[in-house]
Structure 1
């Protein structure tokens, strides 16, 4: 073989060897048949960003059109914390603290009184947005809410639409609470990492 041809032949062998190795790796990764590795760009994921939302959550127990209803009563009628009670919610989310301010979505889910020691909720809810480019997207919150603590923190565990693969946390702070009607307005600051 002439000397000039040897470098070309060697480089072709190296390229062929690399392609073969890549093919073996790809086959090995897909050997389970039900899982494969994807490039995030294939499903539209771009650069991750951090967004902050401030909104107001209106939990209305009283009146003719409550946004929260009890679905399971407390286990014992002597529990000071209503331990075991479960409530379903479809609460308005607004830009400002007044119910008449701009509606941007709804908090849909449930909370249960999960503490025998204090009024502590286990909350599972979706912030389902209805406004602007976020219309149809959701942020999912799941966590513990010690109601009478000044500021409570709960994790964001996911989302949909513009919030696919979301992570983060929310800070909840009671804006107004009526101990007679049990109606509450809570300011939520949402910090979410999303694509």
Structure 2
């Protein structure tokens, strides 16, 4: 009987401590104002679907859309994983500054569109170890378009901004593309 009382007493004490100290949030308080900074980035994104070592691979394809035999390399409903190199220039052999890792889904039934979630991680220069995150719709048939920058890590923690895209090269048969990125970031 004594063990039951000790157990119940311990359980009650534990429950009291949990309720008293176990808040899932802290009081809201004003943040210390910091100087907001603006950074502009310029680089090229190389998306290669066909090669001996592709940087974008199909991980799921549509089977119920009736478009299985579509001649597009990314028919509506296709999901691809990417690990695309980022370079200083449009030449794939130009200086590599990082990788774009994430995925995109072909999300336009009538107009070729991708919805992208990609982490652009920089591996050299001033922003080595830093990244930006993009989650946005990409209407790929438009030569110029913009994507939303929704966050970042490292020096770009809490970044927001816009990436202006310009298709530098695209092969409509195999889907390989080189895209120029001009990114404006607001961060602290």
Looking at structure 2, the residues matched to 181 and 72 of structure 1 have their Cα atoms a distance apart, in angstroms, of 17
User: What TM-score, normalized to structure 1?
Assistant: 0.77
Q: Is 1:128 aligned to residue 121 of structure 2?
A: yes
1:171 paired residue among 164, 169, 186: 164
Q: Tell me the SS of whatever aligns to 2:51.
A: coil
Q: What do residues 47-68 of structure 1 show as CA deviations (whole Å, max 9, x unaligned)?
A: 1111111100000111111000
TM superposition shift of 1:78: 5.0
RMSD: 1.8
Alignment of 1:47-62 (within 5 A): 47-62=35-50
Looking at structure 2, the residues matched to 180 and 111 of structure 1 have their Cα atoms a distance apart, in angstroms, of 18
Contact 1:79 1:116 in 2 (8 A): no
Q: Tell me the SS of whatever aligns to 1:116.
A: coil
TM superposition shift of 1:71: 0.3
TM superposition shift of 1:179: 2.3
Please say which structure displays the higher CA radius of gyration. Answer: 1
Q: Which runs of 5+ in 2 are unaligned?
A: 1-22
Distance 1:141 1:72, change over 3 A: same
Higher RCO by CA contacts (8 Å cutoff, separation 6 or greater): 2
Q: Tell me the SS of whatever aligns to 1:162.
A: helix
Q: Is 1:96 aligned to residue 96 of structure 2?
A: no
Q: Which runs of 5+ in 1 are unaligned?
A: 1-31
